[in-house]
Structure 1
Amino acid sequence: MLDSFEETVWPLCDAAELPNECRPPARNWQVLFVFSVSKLPSRTSPPQSLVGPPAGCDIHGFDQWFRLSDRERKLPKFLGNHNRSWIWGRHLVFATLMAGKWPPLEVHYDSHRFSPFDELPVSPTAKAQTLREVCEQLGVELVASTANDLTRTCRAEDHQGLCARMPEFPYHSLTELLATESPRHFVILDGIQDSFNLGAIIRSAEALGCGGVILPAKGQAGINSQSARSSAGAVNWLPICRVDRLDEAAGQLKAAGLTLLAATEKSKLSLWNVAIPRRVTIVIGNEGKGVSEELLSHCDLQVRVPMSGITSSLNAAVAAGIMLAEVSRQAGLSPSSTG
């Protein structure tokens, strides 16, 4: 019986299965029927068949249907590292253009909200440049559009009037990362699966003076639309390296004089009780499994973030932020010393 439920949603059915009088106008559309139980007669059961509406299309409490074309149903969100990846949002697109590290292939703008002669927000010491000028310098095609077209293009409604089609992200090599003269610390991520976690870690790392983030090429989220947005554009300013083997990368980092410091709940050593070397690499593990045993064997120190609540673990991005903040605190880093 249905008294305990608020609504029942019937699955998609092909329009060809409907009685003629109930078919939508286009043959290639699918129909989603939503029935509100509150509108059904008392003690009424749903149809026996879960494909389509009740027999004879005697629909009680029919709310609405949503029609999706074959083409729209098959379109994925543009999130991957390929030539159909899109980023969107005023802050992220502007940051990407200003950094010049990851030049878009195209920038689409809502002509009702932006003009190609609008100036991009820059620092007080930098020369003001218009959207058109920056795109011309980077060789980026600038395309006038509408809000609805932008929504269809990037498959998102929160584009704020700007979206950009991106090439594959330009990862650094570990050699390039180690060639820096700065004594900053680094971060190794061992199998982070969630793109939003990845972006949040990159955002914290860049803000807290980290010299770069190292990712494995497999079994790890990469830079895509979600991680770029979650980073608030920090992917454009922080060197991000991708390696085939984390254990080999760990060996290279140790050979370069960096201490490997792993965050693991298995450790009895509190982060607050450790004197952290200035040249250090923080190791953050997978959201569920933590740092792999193989990589832990390469680490010089293993610490846990002390907690006093009932919850037994922290989100990976939160743990990384705490570790990064403590490293920066002990090193006495400030915005002027990390720049």
Structure 2
Amino acid sequence: MKKVAVQDAVGMRLCHDITEIRDGFKGVAFRRNTVIGAGDVEHLLNIGKRHLFVWDDSIREIHEDDCALRMAGMAPVPGAHYEGPSEGKVLLISDTAGLFLVNRKLLGAVNEIPDLTITSLPNHYAVKKGARMASMRIVPLVTAEENILRAEELCRKERLFELHPYRPLRTGIIITGSEIYSGRISDRFEPVLRSLLKRYPGEVLGVRVCDDDTGMIAAAAEEFIASGADLLLFTGGMSVDPDDVTPRAIRETGAEILTHGMPAQPGNMTLLAYRDQVVMLGVPGAAISRPVTLLDVLLPQIFAGIRFSRADLLNLAEGGLCQLCGQCHYPNCTFGRY
């Protein structure tokens, strides 16, 4: 791109649109890549253009719109599409509800390249259909093609973004506690869990209420697993008191407990276990007293089919402290960002 006087621009191609305002009209008078003719000079002078930015074919530069399209092309996301370019940028839009993942290291490397800017939602962010997940553009009007080539090479090796759609899961709910089993008090967990599960595809296979008895709780779990359960939610008995037997019952099913207790609040005493492909979650009492807990953070990843690692759960520490706002704005807040 180079700047030339209007009179010297005849035969050259414009780098950008030129807007004209006259008699109540505002619109594009000359579009990008228009070849300036001798008859255009007076028109351009009349709308206040004494100089123009035109392409210099000896320099390998790319216009912002073309850059945006190339950046979109280097980061395809199944289950999503790009809109634009508009004003030099493209937007990544979700076509389905799911969990949005960001390759943080790669995103940082691409943004280190001169002129390129890519911004997105946080990693591990639950999105609805139609959500804006990322935006891409360059800062100047044009950039050296070398910059785009560097970004394309980086993204050829790894995915920049991913969207994991929610899978339909069959869920069994196991309510534990002698006070509930005996009918002394009413259970408050079931309506809370059913309300949460309605956000995701799948079905609730049923609800079993168990005494504080490891054998009874384990038997209920086995019954659900035999019925094809993908997810088991256990409530009650999740603290460290000697008579809280639910974790012991989960262990007796042969499940591997990844952790009992996580660095996040509310939901500190949450338990996560796996038995082959079946996910087991021990849900602490905070779920019935707080509008959002760690359960809200874990369920999107579970329904997206992504298995947790120990490192994932430890990473909950930063961003794992709910601010207990008077009016909850989750997920548009810091809670659960990992």
TM range (shorter): under 0.3
TM-score (norm 1): 0.26
Q: Which has the higher contact order (CA 8 A, sep 6+)?
A: 1
Hey, which of these two has a bigger chunk of strand by percent? Answer: 2
Q: Give the structure with higher Rg (CA).
A: 2
TM-score (norm 2): 0.26
